[in-house]
Amino acid sequence: MDNEYKNQDEEQENSLETSNQAELNDEKADDKERELDSYGEPIENPDGDEEPKKKKIKGVITELIIYAAIIIMCVCVVPKYVLQRTIVDGTSMMNTLSDGDNLLVEKVTYRISDPKRFDVIVFYPHGRQSNDYYIKRVIGLPGETIQIKGDTIYINGKAIKENYGKDPMTESGIAEKPLKLANDEFFVLGDNREISDDSRYEDVGPVKRKNIAGRAILRISPLSEFGTFK
């Protein structure tokens, strides 16, 4: 009988030890969970380790650097190499464009190919060292011979068909006689040819390829005229 009571006591002691160990394990698990936030990342470091804080600061700094790089690209790189807003000043391109029109000029195409006939381009008539720019239409291409007789434009001795001119031309300028374009030159005219200062006149003349900034592709304002144009 004594042995029976003794065995019961030992079983009770073992059961109590097992129960205490389970409670201790549960407490440790709860402590560990409290060290984690909802994403499974430590929210505190009991040992005083500063590594998580350093990683967080490093992440914030990296984000700031990325945002700064994006802003610099938008402000500096995009306008210089990709896309730029330009405002029409004057009426030399009427009826296609009007004074005050806001245009988008893209600069990528002409880095890989040459301007085409009848493209509307933005260029620097006095070189890129000047801030002045003109908006005109390409008529003559490199190597061609241009001549204007009355209201007719001849390229390599053949009259071209085009109806961009607002009014008939009365001034031929330097193209009154055959004008041979160099391999890097373009002959441009404004659509409002009676008032346009363009390649017919010596102060502009044929436009060098290096002085062409880009191609006007879209009118963004006024909103009533929003869209592409030819």
Q: Do 45 and 52 contact (CB within 8 A), yes or no?
A: yes
Antiparallel, parallel or unpaired: β 83-87 and 102-106: antiparallel
CB neighbours (10 Å) of residue 94?
Answer: 17
What CA–CA distance (Å, rounded) separates 153 from 170? 12
* Length of the chain counted residue by residue: 230
Considering the candidates 92, 172, 196, 199, report the single residue annotated as catalytic.
92
What CA–CA distance (Å, rounded) separates 54 from 63? 14
What CA–CA distance (Å, rounded) separates 207 from 115? 11
Q: Is 92 a catalytic residue?
A: yes
- Angstrom CA distances, 16 to 3, 7, 9, 37, 48, stand at 20, 14, 10, 34, 36
Q: Is 166 a catalytic residue?
A: no
Helices (DSSP H) in 35-141: which residue ranges?
51-72, 78-81, 109-112
Considering the candidates 113, 116, 136, 221, report the single residue annotated as catalytic.
136
- Catalytic site positions: 92, 136
